[in-house]
Amino acid sequence: MFLPITVLLLAGASAGFLGGLLGIGGGLLVVAALSMALPALGVPKAEVMHVSVATSMATIVLTFVSSATAHIRRGGVVWPSWRWLAPGMVIGGFAGAHVAQLLSGKALRWGIAAFCVVTAWRMALGRIRARHADSPEAVPRSPWLLPAGVGIGAISAVVGIGGGSMTVPLLMSLGVKPVKAVSTSTVCGLAIASASALSYALSVRPPVQALPWGSVGYLYLPAAAVAALGSVTLAPVGARVAHTIPSAALKRVFALFLIAVGALIALGG
């Protein structure tokens, strides 16, 4: 029991810091940690991936309340863009979680592993073309942000993340400065995670095997609380650091780490 709890605490702390710093990737760490720790906590193997993704979304809700508050206080959120993105993200997050419940555990596991590799590649090698690189006041308001939000929300709900790996590049490509893109992405992630967690709790396809006490639908609340404890502690720290240093080198290091996370998830089955 001690080892799984320690794994969740460390994963949550790392996810919180990196989520606050980069606006991306934290949920994948939690999914990987949960996929390793949940069997020892009594979750049936057949349900591990669904519970891992669902519980990750619940953890993100708690984490992003903390990091989003820190970013809002620093005035980094581009609210007009958020108002276009958030409604679509809520719809996509809710629908995506329903789709994930219809997938087999194996399909979900390999899908998440593939997403880790693609995200790592984009972080390490991808280049974002900013259309308004010299304008600190770029405020995207395009109606196309609404369907983009649906897609980001749906994919995020399936793999158990807050969507920052997609939201941050999108906003930067539209001219939003990196630190503001991270801030806005964090608040968007709160909308995605809340809708997804609710969908997993309602469980359109109930778990085939009984889950341990403390489960609501596919959410395993005790594990979410432990991971969030570590995450909430360091999320504001990551947000503070994001406003003081460039993160390009760190993104490349984290890309390598993501490949390792994807391998752990893939081999965990």
| Bridge partners of residue 215, in order along the sequence | 220
3-class secondary-structure state, position 216: strand
Residue 245 pLDDT more than 70? no
- Burial of 249 by CB count in 10 Å (0-12 exposed, 13-18 middle, 19+ buried)? exposed
For the stretch 146-186, pLDDT in tens is 999 999 999 999 999 989 889 988 998 888 888 888 889 98
**Which stretches of the chain are DSSP H helices?**
2-22, 26-37, 48-73, 79-102, 105-125, 145-159, 164-173, 178-202, 221-242, 248-267
Provide the whole-model pTM.
0.86
| Bridge partners of residue 219, in order along the sequence | 216
Return the residue matching tokens 């009984």: 210
Cα Dmax for the chain: 56
Domain boundaries, the chain: 2-267
The pLDDT score that the predictor gives to residue 19 is 66
Q: What is the dihedral of CA 21, 25, 31, 37, to 10 degrees?
A: -50
Report the alpha-carbon distance of residue 141 to residue 144 in Å, rounded: 8
3-class secondary-structure state, position 17: helix
At residue 215, φ and ψ (nearest 5 deg) are -95, 140
Report the alpha-carbon distance of residue 48 to residue 56 in Å, rounded: 12
Highest mean pLDDT among 46-50, 139-143, 203-207, 238-242: 46-50
Distances (CA, A) of 241 to 12, 51, 213: 18, 32, 38
